[in-house]
Amino acid sequence: MAKIIEIKTPNCPRCKLFEPQYQEIQANYPEHTYEALVFGVNPEATEYATKYGIKSAPTFIIEQADKEAIIVKQEELEQTIKSL
């Protein structure tokens, strides 16, 4: 089981366009937990961005126990989840 964290911005057009697909991924892979962090709303978003050098949105962080986090762009998210 993994924790998938979406880092996004409040007015991001790509984030809004991707939202239905992200919800579908959540429905298809319910064994994982999902969290959305918004810049300017969630202080954790800035912490993750600094830690992992995130410079664009949406970006996804996949955390698994005892493994280094994986950083993926929206285009790679479902394929990466399948490979878990």
Name the helix (H) or strand (E) containing 37: strand 33-38
Question: CB-based burial of residue 7 (10 Å sphere; 0-12 exposed, 13-18 middle, 19+ buried)?
Answer: buried
Q: Domain extents for the chain?
A: 2-73
d(CA 38, CA 78): 21
CATH 3.40.50.300 fits 2-73, yes or no: no
Across 72-80, average pLDDT: 92
DSSP state of 55: -
- Using the predicted structure, report yes or no on whether residue 84 has a pLDDT greater than 90: no
Q: Per residue in 30-64, pLDDT tens?
A: 999 999 999 989 999 999 999 999 989 999 999 99
Residue from 82, 83, 47, 66 nearest 5 by CA: 47
Note the pTM of the prediction, 2 decimals.
0.90
